[in-house]
Structure 1
Amino acid sequence: MMTTKYCCPNCKTNRSRFNIIDQIAHAVRLDPQSGETIEQFESMEDAGPFHTTYNGPSRRIQCGSCGLIEDEHTFIKFGEK
């Protein structure tokens, strides 16, 4: 794990209590009527041309004091101040 200073942009005082949320995207195809998983793809190449690749953040941070959840870069920028 990388050493990075965080500060909550909402409560502006918390610099020590955070929840680190690692996001893992799973490409699936669902039945439109039941919502049941029809197919789960091992790689994005298998998903086909009409399935967009997930391009969101791989990590989000939650403030352990006020509960704000944001992109990790937001907490890092406030931690640099």
Structure 2
Amino acid sequence: MHEPYFCPNCKTNRTRFNIIQQVPIAVKMDPASGNVIERYDEVITDPFHNPYRGSEYKVQCASCSIINDEEVFIKAAQHNPRGTI
């Protein structure tokens, strides 16, 4: 989070963003009721349950509300340096 951001959607925002920290919770749910049957805390022993492999952070533009991976906002800033748009 020490890189400049630029919104690739609205193409105006360089300063106002919401950083969303993703904290996955691995659970097994009852398919009929939706109740949580089991919560996997540290080690997932179920061979059919893959651990979360997504990004740690998402970024939301506080102007247009688009949400994407942090890398998308960083790359947009690199391809549109200050003063080019």
TM over 0.5: yes
Q: CA deviation at 1:47?
A: 3.7
Name the count of aligned residue pairs: 79
43, 58, 61: which one aligns with 1:60: 58
Structure 2 residue runs without a partner (length 5+): 81-85
Distance 2:64 2:9 in 1: 8
Amino acid at match of 1:34: S
Q: CA deviation at 1:53?
A: 1.2
71, 75, 80: which one aligns with 2:69: 71
Q: Percent identity?
A: 49
Distance 2:12 2:44 in 1: 46
Amino acid at match of 1:8: C
Moved over 2 A (4+): none
Q: CA deviation at 1:13?
A: 1.1
- The two structures have a TM-score, normalised by structure 2, of 0.86
- The two structures have a TM-score, normalised by structure 1, of 0.90
Distance 1:36 1:47 in 2: 20
Structure 2 match to 1:39: 38
Distance 2:13 2:75 in 1: 14
Amino acid at match of 2:47: P
CA contact (8 A) 2:44 2:51 kept: no
CA contact (8 A) 2:16 2:62 kept: yes
Mean CA deviation greater in 59-68 or 2-11 = 2-11
What SS does the corresponding residue of 1:53 show, helix, strand or coil? Answer: coil
